A and B are shown apart, each in its own frame.
Chain A
Amino acid sequence: MSGQRAFNLLKTHQQSSDRLIDNFNAEDLRAVIEEIKVAFSENHQDALKFQETRDKSLFPMIGYRHALLQRNLRCTLAYLYSRLMKLKDIRWKLGPVINADIKESLTEAEIQWFNNYSRLLTNYMMSFPNGFNIMTDMKPPKSLFIEVKCLCDYGKFELENGESVALQKNSIHFLPRTECEHLIRQGILEHITN
């Protein structure tokens, strides 16, 4: 019992930054909580003993256990908070629906938190007249239209105003930014910068 488990918790959490979010490390957390409980109960006993014996030599242990307790608390809170922030990122990147393999690395409470956050975000977006979607354009766009180069034969693509564009391989088009965004993300179009 020396705060090692808490350190472990955070270390594994940080090392898994290649995946979106890693499995909830339940055993480490439980171990840490055990440590906190044990430390607290021992401290409690020592405090009662001190009241009887007034033995000052108990102080260092009590101080140590208290520090340990606080450290463990801090680590667990950091761990839980960091997971929630990652979930928030997931909401912004992937949208309001999480797929099954991410869901299995989350706890019930986290899923609930995710849904609540999602609802909050949608309510906020709806509160604007016309439902303003703040999820597009992470960076402020410089112009309404962008030039794109078509990388593969996609066929016909419908624009919002009804006109359709024939996306042939190696053709250049000048289209409204909003319509091309998701095709650029899919890799069918490529933005040309001049």
Chain B
Amino acid sequence: MFVSDLRNEFFNFLSGKRVIIISNIDIDSIAASKILQTLFRNENVIFSITPVIGLKALKRTFDDNKSDCNIFVLINCGGCIDLLDFLAPEEDTIFFLVDSHRPLDLCNIYSDSQVRILGDHRNEEDIPAFDQIFRDSDDSEASGDEQEENVEEDGGLGEDDDDNPDRDSSSIRRSETHLEKFERRLRRNREKRDWEKTRERVLFDYSQYSYYARSSALVLYELAWQMSKDTLDLLWWSIVGITEQLLLGKIESSTYTLETQKIQSHVSRLSNKINGKSSTAVRVTFENDLYLALYRHWSVKESLNNSIYSACRLKLWTLNGKKKLNELLVEMGLPLAQASQQFTSMDLLMKKDFYQMIERTAEKYNMPGIIYGSFTLQYGYRHRFAAADYVYSMIAMIEQIENERTAEYCFIEALESLSRVNKDLIESGIDKAKVLLDAIFKQVKTSLESNQIYSAGPFLYFIMQDENILFSSPYGLTLLAKFMLNAYVAVSKSRRARESPLIACIPIDITREICLLIGIPPIGDETKNFFGKAFEQAAVKSNAAIAQDFFDTNIIQIKQSDCAKFIDALTVLLSR
């Protein structure tokens, strides 16, 4: 069921109780957990936070904790699976779900009171009506009919001793009712079959595409706002959450623009309280910013090289592209020496004019979309971060899964990096992000030069041979795939490439021969992803061993040997 009055039905319900928060490991849920943590801390609600990376981890955590506590809050996990079926909880366990993945499983939506989804059901699109999906079983009716038959027969026999004509008429009545009953049963079966067919169709349509809705961090921020406990910090965290959705292509840019307008009103309301008394106070400003990754913490040249938008428009992995880049710099009036330095050590005048320079030359070089509205955080004299900087830094932190650093450890580190006292964590994250973006660019360059992207008809695919620690986690692979697709479309001559999705595969464990496979939709503002269902069906058809463990259904783990036949099956499936 949906819970739209978050304050009373969610928060006030929880005060005085013990809560367990289970959170997915992605940036939106990190921001959301941080906000929830702060709210619970203020109310002295006892809680524990455990991060999980996939379905198996969710079950394990639930089993560990279910005897202690009966209220669970799930952030960005478990919305798309039947929770009651999967976890088999006790009768009195209550789940509060705040999930930006769609489509939500219908059993969760129509659950009576065990699964409560935070959000407004009017915001959800295309939820099938209850009657289309659920219906009481017909068996009781059928047996009731038979009983009626027996009763009538007995009644008829009971009058045996009496008049014969009566008996005759009752037997005639019996046969009539037999016929009617038979017809009725036929009709009912037909109706049932029709109903089941529509049900199949409705379910298929509903769960075909997977996409993302409102960021969970924003939902929780609004809860804080309703309780008048919102601060600039909380607002900044929800900004990070929604910027992540934009940067990874989870939401369309129009949705992003609408949400930013609402956020702007919050920003102006909260900033007015401070009134600009001191120049070192925390400030969040909304301004037109550039789609250049980390440009404030890097050199201009590197940043132009490694951002998807600029690199693909200028084709910076080719020789021509490099010449174009130099042309661009000349036209902007930025000397090469300055452009190769760190942004912070550029000439003051150049720094100030940088934005206008890009704006002027963007049209000519076919980069009109390089400007977008974004938020910037400023505190102290030295710390100025764009929301995208935070997102990249946290991605790099979560990404870096090595021997000691498990996924859960990275989650905790990213969680701590959100608080402003730990600014050195963000800065080290930015350094790691630079390494990651660099590696992505190099990989894209080598792959395009050696033509490693193949077309399999309805989609493009790209298989990497060597293990690379940087791309072995969902986020890294997603960024690589996006860059690859954009770059391929930019150089390819076929028109079909523009509408083709991409599948990327990389081995993550050579010893156990496991690969990570991801499918992303075609370029453009397309956010609906049909790969979740497609992977399931292709796996069944080709008998490949896959593990759809992650909460994002377009990422799976598959055995290396099954890769080829899986892709074949997928080709067949999608060509229809």
Contact = CB atoms under 8 A, between A and B. Distances in A.
Contact of A173 (B48, B406, B409, B416): B48
A172 B46 CA distance: 11
A35 to B, nearest CB: 59
Interface in A151-168: 156, 163-166, 168
Given A147-B41, A173-B48, A175-B46, A164 B68 contact: yes
A170 B41 contact: no
Contacts of A176: 46
A171 B406 CA distance: 12
A119 interface: no
Contacts of B50: 168, 171
A67 interface: no
B411 interface: yes
Contacts of A173: 46-49
A132 interface: no
B18 interface: yes
A77 interface: no
Nearest to A149: B412
B46 A168 contact: no
A194 interface: yes
Contacts of B412: 149, 170, 172
B257 to A, nearest CB: 32
B415 interface: yes
A141 B193 CA distance: 68
A26 interface: no
Contact of B419 (A156, A163, A194): A194
B69 interface: yes
B408 interface: yes
Interface string A169-181: 1111111100000
A171 B419 contact: no
Interface in B368-413: 406, 408-409, 411-412
Interface string A107-136: 000000000000000000000000000000
A169 B408 contact: yes
Contacts of B18: 163
B63 to A, nearest CB: 10
B64 interface: yes
B49 A145 contact: no
A144 to B, nearest CB: 6
A168 B50 CA distance: 8
Nearest to B67: A164
Given A163-B69, A166-B65, A171 B49 contact: yes
B409 A170 contact: yes
B68 A165 contact: yes
Contacts of A165: 48, 68
Given A164-B68, A170-B408, A192 B46 contact: no
Contacts of B41: 145, 147, 174
A72 B51 CA distance: 66
Contacts of A174: 37, 40-41, 45-48
B64 A166 contact: yes
Nearest to A150: B48
Contacts, number: 57
Interface in A33-47: none
B421 interface: yes
A153 to B, nearest CB: 10
B288 interface: no
Given A144-B44, A145-B41, A192-B416, A172 B68 contact: no
A147 B21 CA distance: 14
A172 B37 contact: yes
Given A168-B50, A172-B37, A163 B44 contact: no
Contacts of B416: 192
B406 A163 contact: no
A4 to B, nearest CB: 54
Contacts of B419: 194
Nearest to B420: A194
Nearest to B45: A174
Contacts of B49: 171-173
Nearest to B410: A170
Given A147-B37, A171-B49, A194 B44 contact: no
A149 B419 CA distance: 15
A168 to B, nearest CB: 6
Contact of B51 (A156, A170, A193, A194): A170
Nearest to A145: B44
Given A172-B37, A194-B419, A145 B46 contact: yes
B34 to A, nearest CB: 10
B37, B67, B68 — most chain A CB neighbours (10 Å) = B68
Contacts of A163: 18, 68-69
A175 B47 CA distance: 8
A193 B421 CA distance: 9
Contacts of A170: 51, 406, 408-409, 411-412
Contacts of A156: 68
A173 B67 CA distance: 17
Nearest to A148: B48
B203 to A, nearest CB: 36
B40 to A, nearest CB: 6
A174 B415 CA distance: 15
A173 B412 CA distance: 12
B415 A172 contact: yes
22 contacts: A147-B37, A156-B68, A163-B69, A164-B68, A166-B48, A166-B68, A168-B50, A168-B61, A169-B406, A170-B411, A170-B412, A171-B48, A171-B49, A172-B415, A173-B46, A173-B48, A174-B40, A174-B41, A174-B45, A174-B48, A193-B421, A194-B419
Interface of B: 18, 37, 40-41, 44-51, 61, 64-65, 67-69, 406, 408-409, 411-412, 415-416, 419, 421
Given A145-B46, A171-B48, 18 more contacts: A163-B18, A163-B69, A164-B67, A166-B48, A166-B65, A168-B50, A168-B61, A169-B406, A169-B408, A170-B406, A170-B409, A170-B412, A171-B49, A172-B37, A172-B48, A173-B47, A174-B47, A176-B46
Give me the 10 closest cross-chain CB pairs, A-B, nearest first: A170-B408, A172-B49, A173-B48, A171-B50, A166-B64, A174-B47, A164-B68, A170-B409, A194-B419, A166-B65
